[in-house]
Amino acid sequence: MKIVHLTPGTGNFHCGSCLRDNHLIKALRRLGHEVVMVPLYLPLVTDDEPASGAAPVQVGGINLYLRQKLSVFRFLPRFLFRFLDRPGVLRAAADRASMTSARELGEMTVETLKGPHGRQAEDWQRLVDWIGTEGKPDLISLSNGLLNGLAPAVKKTLGVPVLCSLQGEDSFLDTLPEPWKSEAWDAFRKNNGDVDCYLATSDYYRGVMRERLQLPEEKIVTVRNGMDFKGYEPAASEPAVPVIGFLARLCFGKGLATLVESFLILAPRMPDVRLALAGTTTAADAPLIESLKRKLTAAHLTDRVEWRENLSFEEKIQHFQSLTVLSVPATYGEAFGLYVIEALACGVPVVEPEHAGLSELVRATGGGVLCAPDDPEALASALEKMLRDGEGRRALAAAGRAAVLTDFTADRMARDFAVVAERVVRAE
């Protein structure tokens, strides 16, 4: 099959969706499919060479924003559009992305999802026309549901099937202020008729989005995430002192505050335990991080906590290998949790909240334990039990690593994706 896969980039930090997409595209190519990965909005940031290669960013984020806000911007010289789509300019804009107001973010999201009826219709049509000039594909694949406003233009212009992955859209849309939250969900659902099938990353998220999008049973399937685990190896030995680790965006939603609070509870019980906090950050995360640092300072625990921001791939592996246990106690309904399978691939067991996709993932891998969500005391107790039980901890780590290397590989993900893709192409 010839597939065009569209992925929004972040410009300056790693995100799970980009990592998953990069692994998916490379694995599909290994299966013999011709796949073109097209970055949208901002440059892609991945652990290894992007599957998009040197492909330029389409529908650049700065141009999209300015045309949304200023109708006169549509009539400026073409060279200015090209300048604003340069990777360096887009990355600089990404550094200031958090300055967009909630109102502007809501408006942009709604207009994106409205597709041919929104202010961005011209941008979407230009993108679809460009895809057509590169040779008509058999299938268009959308990285996430916030792109499904493209589906009507794809159907009308190219007449090919559309697959749309679902990777945690509810946690974003539900934070939008009204009326944009309701309008965004309404616009999302109106595009269902032009999407041939949705792919959810977990059974949990399949159930959530089937209900939220009001979909029939057959129109949404589960294709669990997977990765290439080259370079993911356990440490030669566990750290000399117990280390609790975190790897995700350093923000409230990922449970950063919950983990720090649990460490404040646990630290007096285990005087040698340490905390290693790593992940991506944006300007919007700074106030929370500073407030947590003040709490740790007041508790005289600063020297037992390490902060690591925006790690390279090599640094990420070193981070995992320095841990005794990983915990990312997300406060919202996490659709999957890529960090869980990454930690397990490095032989690090996990402690996670018993809800959403995280509980499904821990049970599927057998690589960790679950505790009550949003409860620092329960998390501290679960962490303490695991840290004191070396034999049990190592058994969980071994079971989890074996499971992810078998059931959560990129090749398995690509095979599952291809089954769905071939079905909708045959049905067209």
Closest by CA to 225, choosing from 425, 27, 6, 5, is 27
Instruction: Please calculate the CA angle 36-42-45 and round it to the nearest 5 degrees.
Output: 75
For residue 45, the model assigns a pLDDT of 64
Tokens of 225: 């995430």
- What is the residue-level pLDDT of the chain in tens, covering all 428 positions? 999 999 886 545 556 778 899 999 999 999 999 999 888 876 666 667 776 666 676 665 545 555 555 454 454 555 444 544 445 433 444 445 444 456 677 888 898 899 999 888 888 898 899 899 878 999 999 999 999 999 999 999 999 999 999 999 999 899 999 999 999 999 999 999 999 999 999 999 999 999 999 999 999 999 999 999 999 999 999 999 999 999 999 999 999 999 999 999 999 999 999 999 999 888 889 999 999 999 999 999 999 999 999 898 999 999 999 999 999 999 999 999 999 999 999 999 999 999 999 999 999 999 999 999 999 999 999 999 999 999 999 999 999 999 999 999 999 999 999 999 999 999 87
Tokens of 166: 């679902």
Contacts of 397 (CB under 8 A, 6+ apart): 234, 344, 347, 348, 349, 367
Question: pTM for the whole thing?
Answer: 0.89
For residue 281, the model assigns a pLDDT of 86
Contacts of 148 (CB under 8 A, 6+ apart): 113, 115, 142, 162, 164, 188, 191, 194, 195
Tokens of 184: 């965004």
For residue 64, the model assigns a pLDDT of 59
**CA–CA dist 117, 110 (Å, integer):** 10
**CA–CA dist 296, 263 (Å, integer):** 9
Give residue 81's Cα distance to chain centre. Answer: 29
CA of 359: how far to CAs of 139, 363, 375, 377, in Å?
33, 6, 15, 18
**CA–CA dist 227, 237 (Å, integer):** 24
What structural domains and CATH numbers belong to the chain?
2-228+410-427 (3.40.50.2000), 243-407 (3.40.50.2000)
For residue 39, the model assigns a pLDDT of 86
For residue 84, the model assigns a pLDDT of 41
Give, as one character, the DSSP assignment of residue 324. Answer: S
For residue 98, the model assigns a pLDDT of 47
For residue 126, the model assigns a pLDDT of 86
Contacts of 213 (CB under 8 A, 6+ apart): 188, 189, 192, 198, 220
